[in-house]
Structure 1
Amino acid sequence: MKDEFWKTLPSQTPVWVTAWIMSKADDIDLVTGELKDLSIERVSYARAQKMRAAVSHKFGRGFKIGAQMWCESQLLPGTFLGNPSLSVVVSEYMISLRRRKVRSGSEIVTSARAMDHLTMKELYEYNMNYPRTSESRPLKRKGDHATEWGGYKTRVMLSALYTTSMKCMLRFDEALRIQWADIEFIVINGHNCVRLKLPFRKTHQLGGALLQRCAPTPSVPTQ
């Protein structure tokens, strides 16, 4: 009987899902339509996403509806099929919720945490001063030592990858395509430089090359 009941969901089911998330995460009171008092706790947008995922999992796995989009049956008008959590109503509300949380300052979008040259310098100095212990075997991250995910060599290689991506404005998948044959060490006007040739098209029709002056000492990052 339970499976038969969930095959004929009411048309307002997505609205009920939205109302549940709104009551926990939104600044607007669901009953009065006014702003909630500051003493009332609101969950974060990440928590709201988990709430939606829980509903989607319950209908998809528990009631065996799957991941089908919520829509009205063309053969039986008035009958709705699919997962209500994947409806247009819920999707549009989640987009609106995220936009309003970012605007209010309670949430920070990922793009607002972009790396700048000062952060890159701190990262470089931290990795260069990391203990140069033996890395004969891979390190495993444990709960008690979550920061020990890699040794000196691993951190320096990642730092080089970060710097290359930032200098050349590359995505990580693009930076990982660079091979040793694309790097050339040259001397220009008495200064040691590194020439990096991009083996793929970026902002130029035939690719491009980056000249970078080498730092005189390991403790001074290249500017």
Structure 2
Amino acid sequence: LIHSCDEINLDGTPKDPSVERASYTHAQKMRAAATFGFGRMHNLGMLAWHRSEITGSMLGNPSVSETLSSYMLSLRRRKIQKGETTTSARAVTAELLEQLFDFNNQPEFHKRCQYEPTARNAPKKLTDWAGSQAR
């Protein structure tokens, strides 16, 4: 995360401004992948990374540690301060909602269609969906 997303090196020095860095959204995806990898593939679960009081060894999922959570909050704050658009702010606009409404309210979507089972790997069509009449 630090290498590809942050503006600061591990030693605290700033990175060259000409070097392109990944977005906060990319950092979230990297963390999610690490959480999945440690949790499912290495069977470490979703328990926060901590030191066992009994054995003194580290237990849990390292990507769910307090340190990483704090770093992610700090990274998000710094990205926003530098002008990066937050995920929630760019995700859905009024124009996009209007386009979705118009698309979903086309007359052909209000017709009831006969159910036809298909294979999971059958090619999908943009117009093949449950429709506005589905419950």
1:43 Cα offset (Å): 1.1
Aligned to 1:71: 50
The runs of at least 4 aligned residues of structure 1 exceeding 3 Å deviation read: 111-115, 130-134, 142-146, 148-151
Alpha carbons of structure 1 residues 143 and 29: separation in structure 2 relative to 1, 3 Å: farther
SS in 2 for 1:65: coil
Whose RCO is larger (CA < 8 A, sep 6+)?
2
Q: Percent identity?
A: 36
TM-score normalised to the size of structure 2? Answer: 0.68
Residue type of the partner of 2:41? G
Structure 2 CA distance, aligned partners of 1:45 and 1:80? 28
Counting matched residue pairs gives 121
TM-score by length of 1: 0.44
2:44–2:60 contact (8 Å) kept in structure 1: yes
Asked whether 1:137 is paired with 2:117, we answer: no
Trace 1:75-114 onto structure 2 (pairs within 5 A).
75-77=54-56, 79-111=57-89
Larger radius of gyration: 1
Distance 1:90 1:103 in 2: 20
Query: CA contact under 8 A between 1:56 and 1:85: conserved in structure 2?
Result: yes
Partner of 2:40 in structure 1? 61
Q: Give the deviation of 1:108 after TM superposition.
A: 2.4
Q: CA RMSD in A?
A: 3.4
Runs of 5+ unmatched residues, structure 2: 114-122
